[in-house]
Structure 1
Amino acid sequence: MLSKELFDFTVLDRADVPFVLLDEFLKTWDGVLDAIFFFRDDEFPPIDGLVRDMGLKAPDQDKWFRSPISITRGCRQDKILRLRKMLKPYRYVGMLSYDDFTLQTHRLAGTLLLNCGSDLCCHAFNDHSILLRTSPQVRKLADAYIRKAIGKRERFVASHVRPMPDDCVKLWQSPEEDLDPIQLKEICRNDFMYSSGTSPCCDFHDVPGMRLYNTTTVFIMTHPTIRPRVARMLKAGGINAAFLDLSDLMSINMEAARPLRSPMSFSLLAIVEEAVAADARAFLGTAESSMTGMIVQRLHPSTPCPQERIARELNPRHCYFFSPRPSNELMPRRITNLYANRDMEGQEATFKRR
């Protein structure tokens, strides 16, 4: 996929944020990294393969280092100075990070609704992550799908259904009509999603949906391989959900005034799905998913939800996540309730206890 087609770099330019795209960088660089820095305490991942997939070459293992900054070690000024000193001898450095630069940046609203306290990485993430926005081209494709499949003036709510982890996705791909509850419990971290989705009470869909937001239209994001099961679960509750398929994306892209040149793929489909969900009246996500985090942390200017919802200073109270409550009641919860009266130090302590 072409980064220039996916993201709105004019926002970064206006904010004077320096950046360089890898394909442009490689025009004057041979792609050989001088060092690798890793933000975790556990074993190094398969770095050679990860770097090779990006068209780069990893340095020898004696140049693989652990960052003094992480969610477990914190991000104070002394640690930043130490990292700067470690980086000084090298020109081309690869930084391996997922959710470990600062606390749980991939989940829900990340740190955007937290008091960062003394954690400087948290402040940096809050200041700069919201500047990475979806491109106008992608938003136009999302708008074209909404007009075609939902209706330009039709209110709708959106939800992201993501069984966790990947082995649970494979279980949901099973052709069996009903899944084994023992397997669900053993394999899935959010097995409650399945039991609630097949429940006739339909709390999964209704609380952030029809009654509260006065709509009968639901847009569902989920991996194409489990859509048949998710569609059956919703239909059992009387909901015929809208899905964006790869064939839909190819069609609206061909009809676009400025079609994307990026190859059609499930990854590109997911990015356009995110833009559609960002336009919803309300959004219900899956707490552990980074895709949910992208939507919650970045939504559309015309909607009242959070990062494009938070990025544009929109009210996050119309964003929800799916979770069991202590009473074993399976209901969507407002994201604002999760973050109420929490700060970075309290979140870090909670994370360490898990």
Structure 2
Amino acid sequence: MSGTSHGALPIRQLLAAKASKASRRRASSADQDSAVPKRLPRLSGGYLFPILAFGPNNQIAGLKEALVLGRLLNRTVVVHDIRNIYHDAKKGGVKGRMGFKLLYDFDYLAQHHSVVSLEELRAEGWDGRIEAVGHFGKAIWSWIKMTVELNVTAESATYIEFGRFDCTKSVVQRMAKKFMPYKVVGVPLAQKVVPNSMYGVELKWTGKQCHDMYLQASGHLIKSSRMRNITRRFRETKLGGADTPYIAAHIRPYTDLCLKWWHKETYDKAKAAGDCKNGHLYLVFVNETVQHMRRLEETVGRGKAKLFIMSYPELKDVITKMYEKVGLHPFFYEMSDLEAELGYKTSISMLGMVEQEISYQANIFIGSSISSMTGMVMQERFARGIPMENTPVFSSNK
């Protein structure tokens, strides 16, 4: 991107240098907004209970779809805790769920969307019974049964099949009419309302109602003050200070079966192809990180920027060794750091949530393709005004 200069610096470099300061200003603004005693009222259409599945970021994408659907159907969205990834305990974490209000600023969300927490609804006398389940295509029973973990049941619910959702007025009106007799309805959501919502959604305003509403919701789901404070302390103690510029990179071999190939003495992309859907990542992530580091250093000064890495804990040694060969020293957020902050044993999923906030605040964030974790960071950065040239993705060679 070319543009007029400010002194000797191109505009894109100024934007890169200012990104983390801008993110802190937004965080400060969010803190102020959250203190405002304002909340959108309950909607007259009843309640929409999002039935969410897969990993935490897939669930967050589904929640954002629910926020879109709630507005369209004139229903208040029931916000509940986020389930840890299925193999969390096997990876050294814990089973269970993460408290929504520990992760996200509920009060800020409630200023922009009509939402109620599951705890609030229970305190008001709701018995946990979903009266109707609306689904797009085949009902996915394994998802629906997971509501039992929240002491919510759809056992006696009426099931209503709507076919493919296309965000047209006629489809929305049909849904609203079918749901009308029921106070609390559940909808399984994962790329049902917005295609590619987990990863690959267009990061631009398109004029398409559901798409643009989804991106708006991405800007309303900000991390809680607790998560932001944890991030602040990490930056102050490990990344050189609250104002130190840095790059964050998400290095995510996909699928999980690909991890074993990264540990081999010599990486063979051809042999790994069956397990590695983004096998080119291994070959390019170091050099492409160096390129972005040089771009940032043109603004902040050579050696002044840090490098934060979000990846699998078991790849830390491999990644560190590869970066150190080119003179970069990567920093990681450790489970021990998080557990010291929280005061109890926590999940790999919670670790990932903190890593995402650190990545969100970076001057430059480099993502991995085919990753919902990358997708959530990119969506938030776009929705909250960070230039997309500072949110690239590692190249792929299909």
In the alignment, which residue of structure 1 is the partner of 2:99?
Answer: 2
- 1:263/1:35 Cα in 2 relative to 1: closer, same or farther (>3 Å)? farther
User: How far 1:293 moved relative to its partner?
Assistant: 1.8
User: How far 1:212 moved relative to its partner?
Assistant: 3.9
Contact 1:36 1:65 in 2 (8 A): yes
Contact 2:144 2:188 in 1 (8 A): no
Contact 1:210 1:216 in 2 (8 A): no
Share of identical aligned residues, percent? 25
TM-score, with length taken from structure 1? 0.74
- Aligned partners of 1:164 and 1:242: how far apart in 2? 22
In the alignment, which residue of structure 1 is the partner of 2:283?
Answer: 195
In the alignment, which residue of structure 1 is the partner of 2:390?
Answer: 318
Contact 1:213 1:281 in 2 (8 A): no
- Aligned partners of 2:315 and 2:139: how far apart in 1? 32
Contact 2:145 2:153 in 1 (8 A): no
- Aligned partners of 1:132 and 1:38: how far apart in 2? 25
Instruction: Please give the residue correspondences for 1:8-157 in structure 2 after superposition, counting only pairs within 5 Å.
Output: 8-15=105-112, 17-27=113-123, 28-39=125-136, 41=137, 44=140, 46-59=142-155, 63-70=158-165, 74-107=166-199, 110-117=201-208, 120-152=209-241, 153-157=243-247
Which structure 1 residue ranges, 5 or more long, are not aligned? 254-259, 298-306, 329-354
Which structure 2 residue ranges, 5 or more long, are not aligned? 1-97, 299-303
User: How far 1:33 moved relative to its partner?
Assistant: 1.9
- 1:86/1:230 Cα in 2 relative to 1: closer, same or farther (>3 Å)? farther
- Aligned partners of 1:318 and 1:94: how far apart in 2? 38
* AA partner of residue 373 (structure 2): M
Task: Indicate yes or no: 2:353 matched with 1:271.
Answer: yes
Aligned-partner SS, 1:232: helix
Instruction: Please give the residue correspondences for 1:175-214 in structure 2 after superposition, counting only pairs within 5 Å.
Output: 176-197=264-285, 202-214=286-298
Contact 1:164 1:188 in 2 (8 A): yes
- 1:30/1:180 Cα in 2 relative to 1: closer, same or farther (>3 Å)? farther
Aligned-partner SS, 1:26: helix
* AA partner of residue 334 (structure 2): D
Q: Deviations over 1:118-159 (max 9, x none)?
A: xx3223213333211111221111010011111113211001
Contact 2:365 2:390 in 1 (8 A): yes
Contact 2:216 2:383 in 1 (8 A): no
In the alignment, which residue of structure 2 is the partner of 1:222?
Answer: 311
* AA partner of residue 50 (structure 1): M
Aligned length: 294
Contact 1:2 1:262 in 2 (8 A): no
- More displaced, 1-10 or 271-280? 1-10
Contact 1:101 1:121 in 2 (8 A): yes
Q: Deviations over 1:101-131 (max 9, x none)?
A: 11222225x34414134xx322321333321
* AA partner of residue 116 (structure 1): G
* AA partner of residue 252 (structure 2): R
Contact 1:68 1:83 in 2 (8 A): no
- Aligned partners of 1:262 and 1:35: how far apart in 2? 38
- Aligned partners of 1:20 and 1:55: how far apart in 2? 16
Contact 1:69 1:79 in 2 (8 A): no
In the alignment, which residue of structure 1 is the partner of 2:7?
Answer: none
- Aligned partners of 2:296 and 2:133: how far apart in 1? 49
Contact 2:246 2:306 in 1 (8 A): yes
* AA partner of residue 384 (structure 2): R
* AA partner of residue 130 (structure 2): L
In the alignment, which residue of structure 1 is the partner of 2:76?
Answer: none
- 1:166/1:101 Cα in 2 relative to 1: closer, same or farther (>3 Å)? farther
* AA partner of residue 24 (structure 1): E
Aligned-partner SS, 1:196: helix
Contact 2:296 2:305 in 1 (8 A): no
In the alignment, which residue of structure 1 is the partner of 2:38?
Answer: none
Contact 2:284 2:394 in 1 (8 A): no
Aligned-partner SS, 1:126: helix
Match of 2:371 among 273, 278, 289: 289
